[in-house]
Amino acid sequence: MKKLRVLYHDNCFDGLASAAVFSSFYRGRILPGVEIEYEGLTHKAGQRIDEELFGSDDNVIVDFKYSASAKLTWWFDHHESAFLSESDEAHFRKDRSGKKFHDPNFKSCTKFIAAVAKDTFGFEDQGLSELVHWADVIDGAQFPNAQFAVELKDPAMRLMTVIEATRDRSLLHRIIRLLQAKTLEDVINESDVRSTFEGLYESHLKSIDMMRDRARCTDGVIEYDISDRNLEGQNKFIPYYLFPQAVYSVGVSLSPVRAKVSVGSNPWTRREHMENLAKLCEQYGGGGHAVVAAISFKPDALEDARAAAREIAGKLQASLKRA
């Protein structure tokens, strides 16, 4: 039996939703009987995708940077910083397979995949419309307010919390499969998913208190360092929940695979003429979107990450003063 290996952005609602929507498309339009395997991809210093992660048959990368590997069959991404090098971008531009797609105008990769599947291949799965909608809301931070994003009352927000914080790979892969057949409320009410959320919710409440103690807002920029707490998967909207007047946030975290600088903009700010955070982070080897981006350092390069965070916070403060 032919196999499909789906490589997706790990611990990301849009990443898992993209994996689910592409799986539905591939089974519905390309090969109904295919066996599908899932593998999460995490941004690391260097960021090259190991060739060993690709399967022996078809491979797709969704919601993650491009790879020039000859093993890559399909690719979908919506990040502004989608290529590690000019040669990778040139390789993509020369591709004539009709199976590799990039459009940074989409707020979510999930909606991008659904649009390409419908417009280019004539495939649409109406049963996934709820998932496509919420992936676009979550990845585009299109919430009505910070309270909605942080208080986690909606099933989609609870599922987002599980996806972003759990390190149980088997649970994440089970969620991808569940998303193809169930509503978000049904998925979060699965016993193993719900029990995971309940444990994470306690940690979420503690992280709000910790951020209240750690974070500081100066000249419109929130700065925080949680590198001693292994909270990389914490809710990214907590800083704006605590400091609604802020325009940007710059945080440092640490996990076994990377020291990370997270740079974001307040989704509810009324400030115009915002800095392009993807371009800013690219100066340090990172990237992302114009409104949210990140930089990955090796785990033993925490001081480098802290130095970069200080520089970036300073640049953003200076930008706000000039405006």
The per-residue pLDDT for range 94-128, each reduced to its tens digit, is 999 999 999 999 999 999 999 999 999 999 999 99
How would residue 234 be classed by pLDDT, with cut points 50, 70 and 90?
A: confident
* Stretch among 9-18, 186-195, 285-294 having the lowest mean pLDDT: 285-294
Rounded-to-10 torsion of CA 21, 23, 27, 31:
130
Q: 16-20, 24-28, 31-35, 42-46 — which is least confidently predicted?
A: 42-46
Crossing angle (nearest 10°) for helices 155-165 and 169-179: 150
pLDDT at 233 over 70: no
For residues 275 and 177, give the distance between their C-alpha atoms in angstroms, rounded to a whole number.
38
Q: Which residues neighbour 205 within 8 Å (Cβ) at sequence distance 6 or greater? A: none
pLDDT at 323: 73
For residue range 155-178, what is the model confidence (pLDDT) as tens digits?
A: 999 999 999 999 999 999 999 999
Residue 213: burial class (beta carbons within 10 Å; 0-12, 13-18, 19+): exposed
pLDDT interval class at 273 (50, 70, 90) = confident
Give yes or no for a contact between 17 and 110, defined as CB atoms under 8 angstroms apart.
yes
pLDDT at 45: 64
pLDDT of 284 > 70? The answer is: yes
Length of the chain: 323
Q: What is the DSSP letter of 256?
A: T
Q: Which tens digit of pLDDT belongs to each residue from 45-98?
A: 656 788 999 999 999 999 999 999 999 999 999 999 999 899 999 999 999 999
Average pLDDT of span 311-322? 96
Q: Taking residues 196-224, what's their average pLDDT?
A: 95
Whose CA is closest to 282, among 312, 258, 256? 312
Given a contact cutoff of 8 angstroms between Cβ atoms, the answer to whether 60 and 31 are in contact is no
Specify the pLDDT at position 232: 58
Share above pLDDT 70 across residues of the chain, in percent, rounded to a whole number: 98
Question: Which domains are present in the chain?
Answer: 3-138 (3.90.1640.10), 216-322 (3.10.310.30)
List helix spans (H) across 243-323: 277-282, 302-322
